[in-house]
Structure 1
Amino acid sequence: MPGVLEIRDLHKRFDSHHVIKGFSLDVVEQTLSCLVGPNGAGKTTLIDLISGRLKPSEGSVRFYDDELTGLSENEIAHRGIGRKFQIPAVFKNLSVRENLEVAYSHEVNPLRNMFKFGNAKMRARLDEVSTLVALQNRLQVEAGLLSHGETQWLEIGMLLMQEPRLLLLDEPIAGMTEVEIEKTARLLKEIKRSATLIVVEHDMGFVREIADVVTVMHMGTLLAQGRIDEIEANPRVREVYLGTEEEAA
């Protein structure tokens, strides 16, 4: 399968603090990759660099052969990369339906959106996405009244309304119940049928359940990559996770 994302010799420095150190990675289309590593390994910084939230000090990030370094977050999002943060960012005073509509139109003002919501393509997408994230029966509920898991699914749904080709998810199951975690695993596997995912995650049980490829970071570098069984058997990975080496800040 063709490559989606090509990262080459990526560096990020904050003054004298070298956080990402010559990191390179290839991500294959329609795979679910989990990014793991000790706290401070550079996982969220890497996601920030891919999404344009941060600019690299050196190196290249290419998405379907399109160079992303130097582009703004909005420009990168318009190229088909969706980013979900650990803390959900939804409009709590709007209904589930309105949140999905806003995500589709990129316009927060409800009055302006009135002229766009009659769009048949938008309605079809809303029906498809709300069913996928299991919120089709919650469309009229105010987002602030949703459970934690439902709020996480709504934010994923908001990303899906924009039909991204690559989703970057930062700890999507943090704070979820076991039932919600199981539903999220099924959801991400279904999304993989039409998109590529990179998931930052600490819960190795969840990683074991969903990952096609596991990428292990340590102190801003690529420590190991492979199937979960290969990663769990890797003595260097076991050494780092047992805390026998100093972790990066």
Structure 2
Amino acid sequence: MGFLEIRNLCKSFDTVSVINDFSFELVEQTLCCLVGPNGAGKTTTMDLITGRQKPTSGRILFCDDDITGLDEHEIARRGIGRKFQVPAVFRDLTVRQNLEVAYSRSTNPLKNFFRFREPFFAEKLEEILALTGLGNRLNVEAGILSHGETQWLEIGMVLMQNPRLLLLDEPVAGMTESEIEKTAEIFNRLKQTNTLVVVEHDMAFVRQIADMVTVMHMGSLLAHGSIGDIEANERVREVYLGETEDA
């Protein structure tokens, strides 16, 4: 059985069908890019995996556990972390404080104080700072970070929760070329130890990071395979490749 399995997933809003019998399987320690034209259903699929929305029918299995229809916090607790397209950082807090908030498990400040003194916290913090390159920005308020640094901080915040699966929605949107290059380096390091699903429309970026590519069209699976397979697929080229817009 796969690490993440989606079986015959459907989602309708009133009479409008958004996801149509979509099936997908993800192997552990794989980076899969989810691509497709505008309105293909990519973000809705992410919403269904994380419990933000409930499916009309079908099943979602994670590590052999049926998570279909569970609430967001229950799914997060099972080890699925998500980064949205617009970063959700605390702009008035420093980089370190943002990472501490992400790591905290309790609303009790005293309990969190002792958690931050645990060796694991220091190790995790060091690991994430090395990955994101934010070590020299530790005491800087998040509100004055560059766009790329803000995105890397939020990736770090998701990683502080130690998820088994990371879902990332258009992580390089609005980045400069150098920021995109650095983000590709971060993802290529991450996929050595983590499992990721990345919704992306920048095909040059997809070529740099993807182990596998899943193409959606009108809520259904159009194609799944390596980047070479996808770029050689005539149907994919017809409905998607060459387009400049995405959901």
Work out whether the TM-score is over 0.5: yes
Q: Which residue of 1 aligns with 2:25?
A: 26
Instruction: After superposition, give the CA deviation of every residue in 1:20-49 in whole Å (9 maximum; x if it has no partner).
Output: 000000001101100000000000000000
The Cα shift of 1:129 comes to: 1.0
**2:134 is aligned with 1:135:** yes
- C-alpha contact (below 8 Å) 2:105/2:112 kept by paired residues: no
1:48 is matched with 47
Q: Find out whether 1:3 has 2:9 as its counterpart.
A: no
RMSD (CA atoms) = 2.0
- 3-state SS of 1:197 partner: strand
1:8 partner letter: R
Q: 1:242 to 1:160 in 2, by over 3 A?
A: closer
SS at match of 1:99: helix
The correspondence of residues 187-202 of structure 1 with structure 2, limited to 5 A, is 187-202=186-201
Distance 2:242 2:114 in 1: 56
Task: Tell me: CA distance 1:95–1:77, structure 2 relative to 1, closer, same or farther (3 Å).
Answer: same
Q: Which ranges in structure 2 are unaligned for 5 or more consecutive residues? A: none
C-alpha distance after superposition, 1:93-151 (max 9, x if no partner): 11000110110114577676334322221111111111111111111000111000000
Q: C-alpha separation between the residues in 2 aligned to 1:7 and 1:58? A: 11
Q: How much does 1:78 deviate?
A: 0.8
CA contact (8 A) 1:94 1:142 kept: yes
Contact 1:88 1:152 in 2 (8 A): yes
1:131-178 residue CA offsets vs partner (Å, 9 max, x unmatched):
111111111000111000000000000011111111000000000000
How many pairs does the alignment contain? 246
Q: TM-score under structure 2 normalisation?
A: 0.95
**Following the alignment from structure 1 to structure 2, what is the Cα–Cα distance between the partners of residues 6 and 130?**
32
2:20 and 2:220 in contact (8 A); partners too: yes
With over 3 angstroms needed to count, the CA separation of the structure-2 counterparts of 1:107 and 1:33, relative to structure 1, is same
Q: Check whether the contact 2:82–2:158 (CA below 8 A) recurs between aligned residues.
A: yes
Please identify runs of 4+ aligned residues in structure 1 that moved more than 3 A.
Answer: 106-113
- The alpha-carbon distance between structure 1 residues 32 and 242, as it changes in their structure 2 partners (threshold 3 A), is closer
Q: What CA distance in whole angstroms lies between the structure 2 residues aligned with 1:96 and 1:44? A: 28
1:111–1:175 CA distance, 2 compared to 1 (3 A)? farther
- 3-state SS of the aligned residue for 2:75? helix
In structure 2, relative to structure 1, the CA distance for the partners of 1:55 and 1:130 (3 Å cut) is same
Name the counterpart of 2:232: 233
The separation in 1 between residues aligned to 2:64 and 2:153, in whole angstroms, is 31
Between 218-227 and 121-130, the greater mean CA deviation after superposition: 121-130
Between the aligned partners of 2:238 and 2:32, the Cα distance in structure 1 is 22
In structure 1, the partner of 2:206 is: 207
Say which SS state the counterpart of residue 169 (structure 1) adopts. Answer: strand
Matching of residues 12-23 of structure 1 within 5 Å: 12-23=11-22
Task: Quote the offset at 1:214 in angstroms.
Answer: 0.6
CA spacing shift, 1:243–1:205, aligned 2, 3 Å: closer
Q: Is 1:169 matched up with 2:168?
A: yes
Identity of aligned residues (%): 67
User: TM (normalized to structure 1)?
Assistant: 0.94
Amino acid at match of 2:23: S
Show the 5 A alignment for 1:92-103: 92-103=91-102
Does the 8 A contact of 1:102 with 1:108 survive in 2?
no
Instruction: Give, as a single letter, the amino acid of the residue that structure 2 aligns with 1:118.
Output: R
User: Which whole-Å CA distance do the structure 1 matches of 2:176 and 2:106 have between them?
Assistant: 33
> Cα deviation per residue 1:214-239 (whole Å; 9 max; x = unaligned)?
10000000000111111111111111
Shift, 1:212, TM fit: 0.7
